[in-house]
Amino acid sequence: METPLRWLDRPGGTATGVTWGVPWPRGTVAPGVPFALTGPGGGEVPVQSWVTATWPDGSVKWSAHAIGPGPGDGSAYRLVPGKEPAAARVPVTVAREGGLIRVSTGPVTWTIEEEGDTLLRSARRDGREILRDVRLVSLRQDGPTPDEGGAVRRESATGRVERAVAEQDGPVRAVIRLTGRHGDRLPFTVRLYFYAGAEDVRIVHTFVWDGDPGRDFLAGLGLRAGVVMRDEPHDRHVRLAGRDGFLTEAVRGLTGLRRDPGEPARRAQVEGRPVGAIGDPEVAGRLHLVPVWNDYTLDQNSADGYLLRKRTAEGHAWVTVPSGTRSAGYGYVGGPGGGLGFGLRDFWRLHPTRLDVRDAATATATVTVWLWSPSAPAMDLRFWHDGLGQDTFAEQLEGLEITYEDHEPGFGDPHGVARTHELTLRAYAATPAHPELAAHAAAMNEPPLLVASPERIRAAGVFGDWAPPDRATPARAAIEDRLDFLFDLYVREREQRRWYGFWDYGDVMHTYDADRRTWRYDVGGYAWDNSELSPDLWLWYQFLRTGRAEVFRFAEAMSRHTGEVDVHHLGRWKGLGSRHNVQHWGCSCKQLRISNAAYRRVFYYLTADERTGDLLDEVAAAEEAYADLDPLRKVRRDERPPGRQAVPIGLGADWGALAAAWLTRWERHGDERARDKLLGTMAGIGALPRGFFTGEALLDLGTGRFDTSRDAVAVSHLSAVFGLPEICSELLALGLDVPGFERAWLDYCRLYLAPPERQAAELGGPLSGISLIQAHSRLPAYAAARLGDAGLAALAWRAFFRDEGDQLNTNPLQREPEWRLTRVEGPHVPAAIWDAPFVSTNDAAQYGLAAIQNLALIAAHLPEE
């Protein structure tokens, strides 16, 4: 099944290696089958391939592939299973000897210590050492940065590598995983990515917070490298990226002098070429009187501005350089004898960040890419209020009624939250031209990715019910317009509201405040969304069906954030996420619905990103956390049984998240324990007298089986809005022989929005607590498609468009039935904005998911009026 591929963002060659994933229909690609890749013009491209998931029959479900950098014209790549790949002309190699790992990409040889204080000991190009002693550095304060002066004590630490593992060793791609700690705290995982023919290394750094927020204040976190400087000071070049181009400097400048060294010399210096001999003795004899600029700093302390400074030496004043708005986060220091490119992806979006060049006038310059700038106030992770006297469950439930915050003392602790950053180091043979630097900065910020078309992905039968956009009728086109409206709105809101920053970038807000014309950033549980009602899934399904690069990038940032910051990776809540709050970790509701594997799976399979794979593995046994923590402890009316043999699991948000984790673990690793838990609990749901309507079942953590004796009806409006319809659709499409499960799911789909008399006839009484009508319209849509029932299809579209007011549609009960933006300007807002006060994230995400699934399942029944 030959598969065409295209570039996600833009055509052209790649300045770095590329890794991507491709799905395959069940039974079409046998295990062990090789893959070949043809490039532009039909030439064979060396490719490295591996399997990332299999179908239950053992055939390949997802494969991953890697190529090195190359020119290319941006079109006509084709992946061919069953054909041997072309060999890399100069393969990447990995060799271990004497406690060192040496990785050669052809142009560059990188040396890594298996343990110690460096991530990379050195990099050599053409026999010359370019960089040395790449290490992690951090600064810690013993108190918050004072508002108006006052002393705090800072300590510096160097990260120490405790273990190095080669996860891949060529021939096209090599991956080295390093684990250790930043000093005595903050465990980290760093992956180094090398590609055949590449001159760069991509670095993915993750740290997990395990400090005491009352005593530990992180004042700086960075990556530091030494750069060998061989050239004369006037042939040493410094480049720091602004928004559109680069600051162009030399350590000893020859431009603007009273005595002119000549146009050739000035042009050579500006263009980064060797100046050569300076013929004018009036200039050459006075070069020692021209200042050398030893240190440079670019400080991005907000999403709206960076400050540039330079100085001749420590102990002397900084001189301000014309500054700007948003730096691309890439820099260079070196000369004709070689140099280093360095940078951080999403530099301005992840502020406060900083790029430093130090000692550029000496034999070894030092560059530091700061993930948290030492110029900014120290990171303060203390809880945001004093508890407001909410010491009992009763008081906390009262607080929930007024601010929607689920507070509990001790539960707003960030222990175990994480953050991942992507960096790059590039060993240049000589100072590159500005267009080359710009291309490398762009590749860092938007890493090239090959993707299959939406039609080809859908043909593989992955991820359940979705279909490419179809505007064949006015009604379908109207829904597509609204899907575009919602996505474009969130892109606009992210920019207008500046949803950027170290801990915040990638998330969106939960609910809008139409009175203040802002989001409820300061109101309890209405602030940061933390995946509430599945915006992650909405964005990923919208990408799958459209293939739009901007949708992918938005969803990618959300996956990076919600999988790291909103989930606890250490401690008593490991494997659980935090519900929405003013702080991402602030809510006492720690649940599986936030750490849901379904929110990461699409990104993982499209990119084969190893860090996301770690996150998926982390939640493969996340049910263990519920042995000690009852997420319903404040509202539970029955007594929870003690021990591990009867752990309450909600059959909606809880089980849906577990099923996604177990399925992913099974298809990625062939894990029989995960398979047995998945199939066993599916059978348990099928055996429950009320199926999914039971609401909750008791799980024996030892056997992975539900107690099926409960005969009760308990329905929650949240059960099916955290990925349950999507994962049930996937499971049923697999054709697994699980008695009773399909019937249980179809019953839930048929009856949730059924008339009360139908519910009473089949369940013994009408259901209560039914809401989120539009969101649940996809339940009868699924049953309609599965059973061929036109009546259910009509019910689904009626629920989608008209029935209740808690939805986004043309309902006359809505305050603003027309989907349009409103211009707000004047002195009562900080800056003029366009907003849509009728939209909040719950509604947007569920409108998107319902629209996508309904169009895929029952578009033929869509009324045109």
- Give residue 347's domain range: 94-277+288-386+418-448
Q: How high is the pLDDT of residue 815? A: 45
- The pLDDT of 692-704, averaged and rounded, is 97
- Average pLDDT, integer, range 681-688: 98
Torsion sign across C-alpha atoms 9, 13, 17, 23: positive
- Residue 1 has a pLDDT of 83
Q: Are residues 209 and 324 in the same domain?
A: yes
Counting every residue, how long is the chain?
865
Question: Same domain, yes or no, for 107 and 68?
Answer: no
Last residue of a domain, one of 698, 722, 737: 737
**What pLDDT, in 10s, does the model give residues 148-200?**
878 899 999 999 999 999 999 999 999 999 999 999 999 999 999 999 999 99
Looking at residue 70, its pLDDT comes to: 83
In a domain? residue 227: yes
Reported as a pLDDT band with limits 50, 70 and 90, residue 844 is very high
> Does 813 have pLDDT greater than 70?
no
| Element of type H or E holding 279 | none
234/305 same-domain check: yes
Contacts of 504 (CB under 8 A, 6+ apart): 528, 561, 584
pLDDT digits (tens, 9 = 90+) for 100-149: 999 999 999 999 999 999 999 999 999 999 999 999 999 999 999 998 87
- 3 state SS of 38: strand
Same domain, 65 and 157: no
Same domain for 320 and 442?
yes
Q: Does residue 546 belong to any structural domain of this protein?
A: no
- Give pLDDT tens digits for 592-642: 999 999 999 999 999 999 999 999 999 999 999 999 999 999 998 888 888
pLDDT digits (tens, 9 = 90+) for 498-556: 999 999 999 999 999 999 999 999 999 999 999 999 999 999 999 999 999 999 999 99
435 and 363 housed in the same domain: yes
Q: Does residue 53 surpass a pLDDT of 90?
A: yes
In a domain, 67, yes or no: yes
The overall average pLDDT reported for the chain is 95
pLDDT, tens only, 628-660? 999 999 998 888 888 899 999 999 999 999 999
Cβ-based neighbour number of residue 675 at 10 Å: 18
Pair (42, 152) in one structural domain = no
Q: Long-range contacts: 735-742, Cβ < 8 Å, 24+?
A: 735/56, 736/56, 736/679, 736/682, 738/679, 738/682, 738/683, 738/686, 739/683, 739/686, 739/687, 740/683, 740/685, 740/686, 740/687, 740/691, 741/682, 741/683, 741/685, 741/686, 742/686
Residue 560 lies in a domain: no
pLDDT at 72: 57
Convert the pLDDT of each residue in 148-160 to its tens digit.
878 899 999 999 9
pLDDT digits 0-9 by tens, 61-95: 999 999 999 865 566 799 999 999 999 999 999 99
- Is the pLDDT at 816 greater than 60? The verdict is no
Higher pLDDT, 787 or 818: 787
Which one-letter amino acid corresponds to residue 294? N
Residue 462 lies in a domain: no
The answer to whether residue 407 is domain-embedded is no
Q: The domain spanning residue 227 has which CATH number?
A: 2.70.98
Same domain for 182 and 313, yes or no, is: yes
**What is the per-residue pLDDT across 395-431, written as a single tens digit (0 to 9) for each?**
999 999 999 999 999 999 999 999 999 999 999 999 9
pLDDT score at 811: 47
Q: Is residue 333 part of a domain?
A: yes
Residue ending a domain, among 737, 769, 799, is 737
**What average pLDDT score do residues 282-296 get?**
95
Whether residue 657 sits in one domain with residue 632:
yes
If asked whether residues 14 and 145 sit together in one domain, one would say no
Are 210 and 76 in the same domain?
A: no
Number of domains, the chain: 3
CA–CA distances in Å: residue 828 to residues 517, 802, 822: 9, 35, 15
| pLDDT confidence of residue 463 | 98
Residue 657 in any domain: the answer is yes
